[in-house]
Structure 1
Amino acid sequence: MPSGIPISCCFLLCLFTGALGGDPFVFYDWTVSYITASPLGVKQQVIGIEGQFPGPILNVTTNWNVVVNVKNNLDEPLLLTWNGIQHRKNSWQDGVSGTNCPIPAGWNWTYQFQVKDQIGSFFYFPSLSLQRAAGGYGGIIINNRDVIPVPFGTPDGDITIFISDWYTKSHKELRKDIESGVDLGAPDGVLLNGIGPYRYDETLVPDGIAYPTINVEPGKTYRLRVHNVGISTSLNFRIQNHNLLLVETEGSYTVQQNYTNMDIHVGQSYSFLVTMDQSASSDYYIVASSRFVNSSAWARATGVAILHYSNSQGPALGPLPDPPDGSDTYFSMNQARSIRWNVSAGAARPNPQGSFRYGDITVTEVYVILNRPAELIDGKWRTTLNGISYFTPSTPLKLAQQFNIPGVYKLDFPNRLMNERAKVDTSIINGTYRGFMEIIFQNNDTTVQSYHMDGYAFFVVGMDVGVWTENSRGTYNKWDGVARCTTQVFPGSWTAILVSLDNAGIWNLRAQNLNSWYLGQEAYVSVVNPEIREKTELPLPDNAIYCGVLSSLQKDQAQRVRFSDAPSVVYASRTVLAAFIIAFFGTFIR
């Protein structure tokens, strides 16, 4: 050992040298707080992250380790969930009420997870108490490793766009309305990147509202990652006079097809390549407008941004580009069916996406999950799946499972609609580890619903109008149905998915429409390896927050393990670590 180097420094050297051989780490330190914004020209309280609305982009690469210290400066408990991040073997980091105790107001908690074997476009958001209606969301980009080719040329730029319906009421007021059975009604507007619309119509858009402008160079091609982070409205996305070349959705490369517009339902994410091939005689409209609504009250539910070429000769002109027929479910359904998996492309691994031949796997479990509009159950408005409205226990399901606490939940979620009165219960799906589950979502509501499953990418194999039957399997796409984590179900229709249950943990299956989710339209899937659980699931994290019947285990905030001194963004790559070690120990050697 060189003279003058303390033993503690040798420990650090071993620690960091070990890190040199592993996957890189990236650290974020985020404060979540209320900030004042005027997205529709009226000052209101929104949820910002590091003072930003929308929040920062989490930009990482396949297999990186992500450490995010979250300080909750709201006046109510908080959890952030990472929409589409699979958290392999680590549902402890999922950030939903079934797996984590909320972060109390004034506290912080550090998430640590690996974006294992994933690529693509996702987003994060607050998962509790309708908070996403106030913001708190941001983008997630997972880039390919250098050794894995991307199935298209390198774009000249990468642009994230958030589209969302928006209400000037606070999320707390919206909660009260939903609990009282009051329909959300038409939103006050549609935002793009947290900003209101360009004044395309003086009768609909007040003067003085800030609007987003996306600056581009003529002849260049940009990757646009578009996320519907709204409450309950399906939105049609389009760019005046430009084609949208679809290349990826929620972690899967797709067969590359041009679209003039795309219906993006609540919770969904898409990547398009857009080439700036127009004359730039003027700017161009970027539009996100509401779908499947006919009432004149929805006329203002249109978001408009401006695409500005550097050589543009003037402002955008003329009417907005036309949307599809607002009542044409078949158009949107056929568009969704046309989105197919690029089975010849690699993604997180070098083998082609189509090397996993999902259509040849024997289904082991079938669930037909039917939803209904909100109804009164024991005097309260609730929504249900298969007649059960999910009740959130004070002790998270994952903690109850870890400590073998009886009575918190039951593994008895029915695989069909019950022939009894709807009820409120904590009933979860008992999934078989390495089983292959078929789930059919049957939508008995009058609006489009989106459903999401944490921990997995599932294969969307079929959708149609009417009632699903056993014969419907004859229409399934068993070769190149796209793998994603959020799918739409049209009113009076069904959507079928297949999912390989290879990720142990307890995973949230939910409506992405916030009003449906808030009133109970969710369930959890428990996937346990009964033989070697300690090898297929990561252990309870040292910094776990305890609540419910385990509250007595909770340490004071000052005693908890945390990462509050992490810099805003520090990329601890092999190069950076090596430089740190050389600089650190060089001071002692000198």
Structure 2
Amino acid sequence: MALLSALRRACICNALIFFTVCFAGDRFVSFELEYTYVTKSPLGVPQQVIAVNGQFPGPVLNVTTNDNVMVNVRNRLDEDLLVTWPGIHMWRSSWQDGVHGTNCPIQAKWNWTYQFQVKDQIGSFFYFPSLLMQRASGGFGSFIITNRPVISLPFGFPDGDIVMLIGDWYTKSHKALREDLDNGKELGMPDGVLINGKGPYRYNSSLVPDGIDHETINVEPGKTYRVRVHNVGVSTCLNFRIQNHNLLLAETEGTYTSQQNYTSLDIHVGQSYTFLVTMDQNASSDYYVVASPRLVNQSVWEKVTGVAVLHYSNSKGKASGPLPDPPNDFYDKSYVINQALSIRQNVSASGARPNPQGSFHYGSVNVTDIYILKSVPPVTIDRKRRATYNGISFVYPDTPMRLSDIYHVPGDYKLDFPNKPMNRPPKMDKSLISGTYKGFIEIVLQNNDTVVQSFHMDGYSFFVVGMGYGEWTENNRGSYNRWDAISRCTTQVFAGGWTAILVSLDNVGVWNLRTENLDRWYLGQETFMRIINPEDTSNKTENPVPDNVLYCGALSSMQKQQKTSSAVVHGSSDLMLSMMLLSAASIYILH
């Protein structure tokens, strides 16, 4: 027994030394992300962009299902910063969500360490700065959760991984774009589309000036690659395609999909997709990779096209000729909806756990609440141009909502968000939706704006059960997919149309509901859902306030001044050590 105890103590010591835990504990991984400005010329014009660790786009963060993740963010910008992780469920911990309503900002020259577990998740996601339109200048990168080896993939293991971040781009800085919105202006047409932070290949000498650096993707003939594509742009839906190659859709935002081939796929702002692409073409030349705007006037937006090059190792020449065509659906409004609804979950595949994804029969669960969120073109409220849901343009409370709850800050927000559009003048307000733990809700997104939008819900995935044009009515429920609808965190809502989603409220906290279109988001088209477990008196369904929480607003006096040196923020190392000790101790007890 003494020998066994000694071995246990030695195992715990080794865990602390090597930042792993013995026996069967979930591992810890840590990252350092430093946000700075650098000068780049992605469209041939020198401009200030936001880099992460000196890179634009930022580094890929690779983790494995159930990892405990710690990300120390160093803010070397000249303004506040928060980094958000859309699609990462942040179980029981909206403290780590990285949006203004849940976290106090990381001030300039300060650091802060995010700590969360990617519990029971797989898939392709991305991170980005959530404040002040900063994503329009960069600061984004891919976040990949790889399945554990004990869970088999529903496809052959790929020969390699390719990450592609696509998005519309302005040569104006995010500060200038923000100023335009503050002055009541529209952002207007972007200046181009970037692929992995680079401008278009010179496929057309009149549309693309000389000297622009483009992305080249090197591949081997006959091999199959997992291609992860994220739309990290400002507000434009992009059609993604690879000349002469099929895109076998395999996963989107944490859900394995029913596998089917597409020649091209519309990827809306904030969405992520994983394709399997086999290099089965001859190598007489390189091939175009294209990301072009959709649902806009194509003749006017012709130059706003992202083009990269797919280069076989035995290629005999450069890509040439016209770009592969986008969908020809000008007279077919149903095409985009049919394509969106063709994306369904693979109900026979295992995700992060050894059971089929479709084992949760969402279609037979009783709905406990219904919310209709209606958006319209921006309106003037108190002489300011604002965007709304149900006539309310959200205004951030001075103190993040859960901190207000914990420390009893009075009057910081209200739980009176209307569950349907109201016949009254629009207003700015701090109004939240009240949700109950284990509820099962239906949200109808009614887009009466003139532009296609993306809707996102932090902390959750939801089932996209229906889409259509016109005003939603209760009769539309008869068309819902109640068996294999895709489960994801970001869905499109077409202009003049609706999208219906079903959500199981299994994650306590305060979670952001928003449009991913940066201009509408900045103008207030968002709210939050406060989900509380009234039966939980011992906080088993929500993590406590983290030790390193930042304080602001009515609680500013509780915040200690941080050191502004380049060293890791005070507390980050202690946090890592504390988590390692807790994990090791729990394992010691269990054994």
TM-score, scaled to structure 1: 0.93
Gap change, CA 1:10 and 1:291, over 3 Å in 2: closer
CA distance in 1, matches of 2:230, 2:514: 18
* Paired residue secondary structure (1:20): coil
Q: CA RMSD in A?
A: 2.3
Partner of 1:251: 254
The 5-angstrom pairing of residues 130-279 of structure 1 reads 130-279=133-282
CA distance in 1, matches of 2:287, 2:235: 27
CA distance in 2, matches of 1:329, 1:247: 26
* 1:521 matched to 2:529: no
Partner of 2:21: 19
Residues 190-219 of structure 1 show CA distances to partners (whole Å, capped at 9, x for unaligned) of 000000000011111100000000000000
Partner of 1:34: 37
Gap change, CA 1:395 and 1:217, over 3 Å in 2: same
Return the offset for 1:295.
5.9
Output the amino acid matched with 1:241. Answer: N
Partner of 1:352: 356
Residues 214-233 of structure 1 show CA distances to partners (whole Å, capped at 9, x for unaligned) of 00000000000000000000
Return the offset for 1:20.
2.1
Pick from 553, 559, 569 the counterpart of residue 558 of structure 2. 553
Pick from 413, 422, 444 the counterpart of residue 418 of structure 1. 422
Return the offset for 1:362.
0.2
CA contact (8 A) 2:20 2:28 kept: no
Pick from 563, 579, 590 the counterpart of residue 572 of structure 2. 563
Alignment gaps of 5+ in structure 1: 578-590
Number of residue pairs matched by the alignment: 568
* Paired residue secondary structure (2:377): strand
TM-score, scaled to structure 2: 0.93
Output the amino acid matched with 1:419. Answer: N
* Paired residue secondary structure (1:445): coil
CA contact (8 A) 1:453 1:510 kept: yes
CA distance in 2, matches of 1:11, 1:155: 37
Return the offset for 1:186.
1.0
CA distance in 2, matches of 1:185, 1:53: 24
Return the offset for 1:428.
0.4
Pick from 396, 405, 411 the counterpart of residue 407 of structure 1. 411
Output the amino acid matched with 2:293. Answer: S
Return the offset for 1:563.
2.3
CA distance in 1, matches of 2:225, 2:303: 29
Return the offset for 1:564.
6.5
Pick from 470, 487, 490 the counterpart of residue 491 of structure 2. 487
CA distance in 1, matches of 2:245, 2:485: 27
CA distance in 2, matches of 1:564, 1:31: 16
CA contact (8 A) 2:86 2:459 kept: no
CA contact (8 A) 1:72 1:103 kept: yes
Return the offset for 1:403.
1.3
* Paired residue secondary structure (1:354): helix
Residues 464-491 of structure 1 show CA distances to partners (whole Å, capped at 9, x for unaligned) of 0111001000000000000000000001
Partner of 2:589: none
Return the offset for 1:516.
0.5
CA distance in 1, matches of 2:347, 2:59: 32
CA distance in 2, matches of 1:158, 1:181: 43
Partner of 1:63: 66
CA contact (8 A) 1:291 1:326 kept: no
CA distance in 1, matches of 2:33, 2:10: 29
Return the offset for 1:296.
3.8
Return the offset for 1:562.
2.9
* 1:384 matched to 2:393: no
Query: Which range is displaced more, 392-401 or 480-489?
Result: 392-401
Query: Which range is displaced more, 155-164 or 525-534?
Result: 525-534
Output the amino acid matched with 1:408. Answer: D
Output the amino acid matched with 1:418. Answer: M
CA distance in 2, matches of 1:117, 1:378: 46
* Paired residue secondary structure (1:34): strand
CA contact (8 A) 1:231 1:514 kept: yes
* 1:459 matched to 2:459: no
Gap change, CA 1:208 and 1:65, over 3 Å in 2: same
Return the offset for 1:175.
0.4
CA distance in 1, matches of 2:249, 2:12: 49
Partner of 2:50: 47
* 1:476 matched to 2:480: yes
CA distance in 2, matches of 1:528, 1:265: 31
CA contact (8 A) 1:27 1:566 kept: no
Pick from 383, 398, 408 the counterpart of residue 394 of structure 1. 398
Output the amino acid matched with 1:446. Answer: T
CA contact (8 A) 1:329 1:490 kept: no
* 1:302 matched to 2:305: yes
CA contact (8 A) 1:69 1:564 kept: no
* Paired residue secondary structure (1:133): helix
